[in-house]
Amino acid sequence: MTDSISTTQSLSRESGVELDLLAREERITPVPLWRVRVKLWWRSARQNAAIFADNKIGLLGLAIILLFGVMALAHPILMATVWDARTYDPITGYSFDELRQPAPPSARHLLGTDPLGRDVLSQLMYSTRNEFILGLLAALITVTIATTIGATTAYFGGVYDMIFMRVADLIIMTPAISLLIVMCALFNPDLPQLAVVIGILSGFGGTTIIIKSQALSIRVKPFIEAAKVAGGGHRHIIMTHILPNLLPFSFLYMMFGVTAAIFSEATLSFFGLLNVRMSWGIMIFTAQAAGYLLSGVEYWWLLIPAGASITLLCSAFYLVGRALDEVVNPRLRKR
């Protein structure tokens, strides 16, 4: 590239102000444009990773997420190799070795068994995958909707903006969890369906308003005016200038979205309203249905593992979000 450009440069020097596009000699490009772009992207990703890695809390969050990821992946492997399906299946298994159910932790059942004689550790690991699917799917839907609406309402304004903002107000004013309970009671959705519902509610609701305020701050930047003067249409300005500057924030709010979705699922499962065979919320629901909810520390393995997992995974995504906040908001950085 250096060679070809320098010829151009010397040409333009000799010819003074020769700007005619038609007068072009052949030119070989040793490095195509897309490869330069990939390199640039990779470099900026590495820089951002370095900023993220500076934040120890973010790394802790990432480590917790990875740990749960390993748990989710390990479950099918354990079921296929070490764990006997009749005893360890999270839904249909029954531990015949124990005299009483629920049995306290032992060498065979590291986290004991539940009131129905199933292995708690197996349930915990099996549910992890569901939580990930639900959380990420819901957050992805939320952010896709919120970013699209936020970017376009901030750009166009007017009646279009007003309609979506009133819808958002309406959703925010409705208590989300009671709405979800009523809906689940009526339709008894499964996990992906729930993810879509949570995604839509949050996407048209609070997240839109947050993303729109970010988009508004981008919209008033002089480079938007510069793009207009360059001759760019609405589509060009939204796609090239607003969205790329908005996506880091969208990614950030996706992390917070995961947290919200997992919490909602846990609450709904606890009330037994979901068409889900096993999840952390169901584990607590099972303990509650069998009357162990208020039994205190005596039957801790029925409540603590699931409860702690919900809290840990939710806070992990939140911590990662906070660390990402420093990456996308340079003002928050200490130096």
Partner 1 sequence: MTQPILSVQNLTMHYATRKGDVSAVDDVSFDVMQGDALGLVGESGCGKSSIANCLLRLLPENARILQGAVRLDGANLTTLPEDQMRAYRWKRIAMVFQAAMNTLDPVYRVGDQIIEALHTHIETMTNAEARERVAELFKIVGLDPALMDRYPHEYSGGMRQRAVIAMALSCNPDVIIADEPTTALDVIVQDKLLREMCNIQKTLGMGMIYISHDIAVIAEVSNRMGVMYAGRLVELADTADIFARPQHPYTYALMSAFPSITGPKRELTTLPGEPPDLLNPPPGCRFHPRCPRATSVCARDVPAFKAMDARHSVACWHPVEG
Partner 2 sequence: MTNEQMGKWQTLFHPSDPCPRFPDPYLEFRMTHTDPLVTVEHLQKYYPVNQGLFAQTRHYIHAVDDLSFQIGRGESLGLVGESGCGKTTTGKLLVKLIDPTKGHIYLGSNGSQTDIAPLKGAAVKQFRRRVQMIFQDPYESMNPRLTIYDTVAEPLVVQGIGTVIEREERVAEMLALVGLTPPASFLFRFPHELSGGQRQRVAIARALVVQPKFVVADEPTSMLDVSIRTGVMHLMSNLARRLDVTYLYITHDLAVARYMCHRIAVMYLGKMVELAETEELLQHPQHPYTKALLASVPVPDPSIKRQAAEIKGGIPTPINPPAYCRFYERCLIATARCRDDAHPPLADKGNGHSVACYAV
Applying CB under 8 A, the residues found at the interface with partner 1 are 51, 54, 334-335
36 or 170: whose CB is closer to partner 2?
Answer: 36
Alpha carbons 312 and 30: distance in angstroms, whole number? 50
For residue 45, the SS3 value is: helix
The radius of gyration computed from the CA coordinates of the chain, to the nearest angstrom, equals: 27
Alpha carbons 59 and 111: distance in angstroms, whole number? 27
Token pair recorded at residue 18 = 């020769």
One residue of 107, 229, 294, 297 binding partner 2 per CB under 8 A: 229
Alpha carbons 120 and 108: distance in angstroms, whole number? 11
Stretch that binds partner 2, among 26-34, 96-104, 177-185, 280-288 (CB under 8 A): 26-34
Helix (H) or strand (E) holding 304: helix 300-328
Q: Is 245 in the site for partner 2 (CB under 8 A)?
A: yes
Residue 2: name its binding partner from partner 1, partner 2, none (Cβ under 5 to 8 Å by kind).
partner 2
Buried b (16+ CB within 10 A) or exposed e, 142-156: bbebbbbbbbbbbbe
Q: Is 329 in the site for partner 2 (CB under 8 A)?
A: no
Using alpha carbons only, give the angle 134, 326, 241 rounded to the nearest 5 degrees.
Answer: 80
Q: How far is the CB of 150 from partner 1 (least distance, A)?
A: 29
| Count of residues of this chain found to bind partner 2 when the rule CB under 8 A is applied | 36
Q: Is 331 in the site for partner 2 (CB under 8 A)?
A: no
One residue of 49, 230, 239, 304 binding partner 2 per CB under 8 A: 230
Q: Are 261 and 196 in contact (CB under 8 A)?
A: no
Q: Are 94 and 117 in contact (CB under 8 A)?
A: yes
Token pair recorded at residue 7 = 């010829």
Stretch that binds partner 2, among 14-22, 54-62, 126-134, 209-217 (CB under 8 A): 14-22
Residue 192: name its binding partner from partner 1, partner 2, none (Cβ under 5 to 8 Å by kind).
none
Map the footprint of partner 2 across residues 36-75, applying CB under 8 A: 36, 40
Alpha carbons 99 and 28: distance in angstroms, whole number? 80
Q: How far is the CB of 335 from partner 1 (least distance, A)?
A: 5
Q: How far is the CB of 322 from partner 1 (least distance, A)?
A: 19
Alpha carbons 239 and 226: distance in angstroms, whole number? 15
74 or 332: whose CB is closer to partner 2?
Answer: 332
Residue 229: name its binding partner from partner 2, partner 1, none (Cβ under 5 to 8 Å by kind).
partner 2
Token pair recorded at residue 326 = 């420093």
Binding site for partner 2 (CB under 8 A): 1-2, 5-6, 8-9, 12-13, 16-19, 21, 24, 27, 29, 33, 36, 40, 221-223, 225-233, 236, 240-241, 244-245
